Structures are given as C-alpha cells and as structure tokens.
Amino acid sequence: MNDHTDDKASRDNTAPATRDTETIPPPPSAVGEVFGDRADLAIRYVDFLATAGLERGLMGPRERPRLWDRHVLNSAAAKSHIFDGESVVDIGSGAGLPGIPLSLARPDLEITLVEPLLRRVNFLEEIIESLGIDVRVVRGRAEEKTVITEVGNADVVTSRAVAPLAKLAGWSAPLLRIGGRMVALKGSSATEEVDRDSAALSRLGFTDVHVEIVSAPDAEETRLVIATLGSRMGGRGSRSRGSGKRRG
C-alpha cells in the first residue's frame, strides 16, 4: 500500500515533548466549535504530531505550522458525511489522519485504524492510550485477507492521500458492507480522478460516485470522493448483491 507523503513514523521514543509555544502551532478559535468538549484532546494530539511525530518522521518539518488547518481540522471536516454510530475503517492511517480527528470530533463513531508498519502502529497506540479514546488499531494492509476478516463489513472506509482512486477503491471495496461507502479525502485533482477511474469503480461495484467539498472553520477545504458499494464481484466473476442497512 502506498503511504501518506508526510505522515509515517520512524523511531521508538514515546511521550510527546513538553509543550513549547515556539514549535507547536497555537490552536485556532475553531477548535472548540469542531471538537466540543474534546478540544483539549485535539490540542494534545497536535502536540504529539508537532513533537514526537516530527522526531519520528511522521510529519515533515514544513507541515508543523499547518497541522491544524491542513491536517487535523481538514480531516475532521469529513464528519459531515458520516452517519450517527457508523463503523469507520481508516486505511493507511499513518499518523492517525483522518481517523483520530474523526474520533475526537465524533465520539459516536466506531473507528478502526489500519496501518502496516509496526513503528507507526506503536505510535498510534501510544497516542490512543494517552488520549484515552476508544479507537482500535489493526496492523496490516487493507488488501490482506486477515485484515478483511477482522475489520470487514464496515459502514465507511476512509483514507487520506493514500493511493490513486482506482487502487484505493480496490482496497476499500472488500472492507465494506453492501450499501457501505468509501469516503476518501483527496486533493484538488479529485474530480479528475473520478473521471479517469469511473469505469474501474463501476467494475468494483461502486455507484453514485461523486465529489463533495466540505470545510471546517479555520481549515483548508476538503474534497471527499464518496462512492456507495452497490454490489461486489462474487465467485466466477458474477455479481453479488445485498441490501445492507442504510443509516441517516
């Protein structure tokens, strides 16, 4: 699985450094609006990314000033297209984006982070334990049978800057229930990717493929590629269909 460009780990030291206002970006006023009574946890999460995350190579140095607007608030904006109480699998989670911001903004969601590299998994588990949030981490690649067995039948599979859309859809489809949705955070080329890969998504059983632009206050816009799994390829190339429960 291809990885996030700036969001992967390296080293085995744990606790974040003491908060240093010169190196950690100050929380914008929107933090309380987006995260509510979990705003303090979101601030601690950014502290992790700006200190231990930078030291271990999960975040590039140039990303430190943009952690809030480009990464954390940007990720949390996807919450507007996830229904109450849904199970969400974040594939190629890296530094926990978008899964951890979604969990902080929407504690009703059942979040699982899927990440193949051990040191990144350790980092995620440290953050989750420190923040005291109910998020599961599964080590592996989304396409592995063991991961599909463990986290499959999800309502939503999400990701952020993991791979080209067709490949990402191929990893997402086996993890979704029929009627579940891929909600992929993409860059400015989202519409072009949908146009380019629409036939591949259709072959995988995805329908209603479209782009939504969402935003959180004090954050960059987020482009979501949303697609519903209407059917999946069954044995011998046949289509299998289902009527998975729809929420909303």
Binding residues: 92, 97, 142-143, 160
Return the DSSP state at 64.
G
> Cα 213 to the chain's mean position, in Å?
16
Q: What is the dihedral of CA 210, 149, 72, 104, to 10 degrees?
A: 110
List, as one string, the DSSP characters of 198-227. Answer: HHHHHHTTEEEEEEEEE--TTS--EEEEEE
Asked if residue 199 lies in contact with residue 230, where contact means CB atoms within 8 angstroms, the answer is: no
Read off the tokens for 90.
């974040």
CA distance 127 to 166: 31
Q: Which residues are annotated as a binding site for S-adenosyl-L-methionine?
A: 92, 97, 142-143, 160
Beta strands in the chain (DSSP E): 87-91, 110-115, 135-139, 154-160, 176-186, 206-214, 222-229, 231-233, 239-241
Asked if residue 228 lies in contact with residue 179, where contact means CB atoms within 8 angstroms, the answer is: yes
Q: What is the largest CA-CA distance in the chain?
A: 60
